[in-house]
Structure 1
Amino acid sequence: MTDVKTRSRERDSTLDREMKKGSAELIILSIVEARARHGYEISKLIETRSNGQLKFHVASLYPLLYRLEERGWLQGRWVEKAGERRRRFYSLTAAGRAALARQRETWNTFVDAMRLITDSHHA
């Protein structure tokens, strides 16, 4: 029985990773839409807003932020405050806002289709 539970958890974990990977850009762009944020704050907001269901660790978050910056969807700038360490704040660019709008539309279409397929009245 333990092997079955372990395999089920591993399968769920893989699915979670794949779903997170597929929606990571949308998540990040949505988080920085309102205002510029630094990496740690982005990570904590993802965890808080998802009630702990999603967590982005530094090893996966920062490469994604750099990729979005390279695409021109985010703009990063270093900020230094007295008594604090230097932090890089990321804000949404005009191209990033357009990408976010497209991704939201795609996501909403996908969720609507999934709801149509999986709704219990079709069972």
Structure 2
Amino acid sequence: MGRSRRITGPLLDVLEALVAAFRQDEEPHGWTIMKAVGRSGPTVYGVLERLEEWGWITGTWEELPADESRPRRRFYRLTPSGRVEAVALPAERRPTRGGTALGEPLPGGGW
């Protein structure tokens, strides 16, 4: 955590999607976050990795039955400190987006 925290548009998008999911008592996986924010996999997973390094989210792998052959999904949840940051940062950086930073559904769908 010694290096500075770079705040980018994709990071704010992912935070808003995580807050929206939290408010609906959901734990999204990477693909659903990608769809909600309209960003590519490498972008979203890079942001998720950063947020996990910062301690703002935790990720857990799903358990699959032995007879299921699809890849496991990783589900993400905001930590208590991450919830505070995930609401405050977009509200500070994107005050004109109104309710999105407060956890309302994202424009065009999502949670």
Q: TM-score range by the shorter chain?
A: 0.5 to 0.7
Partner of 2:39, secondary structure, is coil
Which consecutive unaligned segments of at least 5 residues does structure 1 have?
1-20, 47-54, 113-123
CA distance, structure 2, for counterparts of residue 74 and residue 22 of structure 1: 17
Alignment length, in residue pairs?
83
Which consecutive unaligned segments of at least 5 residues does structure 2 have?
1-6, 98-111
Scaled by the length of structure 2, the TM-score of the pair is: 0.64
Aligned residue identity for 1:71: W
Q: Which residue of 1 aligns with 2:78?
A: 92
Scaled by the length of structure 1, the TM-score of the pair is: 0.58
- C-alpha RMSD of the superposition: 2.0
Aligned residue identity for 2:44: L
Equivalent of residue 61 in structure 1, options 32, 35, 44? 44
Task: Please state which structure has a larger fraction of its residues in helix.
Answer: 1
CA contact under 8 A between 1:79 and 1:86: conserved in structure 2?
A: yes
State the 1:86 CA deviation.
Answer: 1.0
Structure 1 residues 44, 99: CA separation in 2 closer, same or farther (over 3 Å shift)?
A: same
CA contact under 8 A between 1:38 and 1:90: conserved in structure 2?
A: yes
CA distance, structure 2, for counterparts of residue 108 and residue 56 of structure 1: 18
Aligned residue identity for 2:55: G
Q: Which residue of 1 aligns with 2:27?
A: 36
Which has more radius of gyration? 1
Work out the percentage of aligned pairs sharing the same amino acid: 31
Superposed, 1:1-123 pairs within 5 Å as 22-33=8-19, 34=22, 35-46=26-37, 55-82=38-65, 83=68, 84-109=70-95, 111=96
CA contact under 8 A between 1:78 and 1:86: conserved in structure 2?
A: yes
State the 1:22 CA deviation.
Answer: 2.7
Structure 1 residues 108, 67: CA separation in 2 closer, same or farther (over 3 Å shift)?
A: closer
Partner of 1:32, secondary structure, is helix
CA contact under 8 A between 1:38 and 1:88: conserved in structure 2?
A: yes
Greater RCO between the two (CA within 8 Å, min separation 6)?
Answer: 2
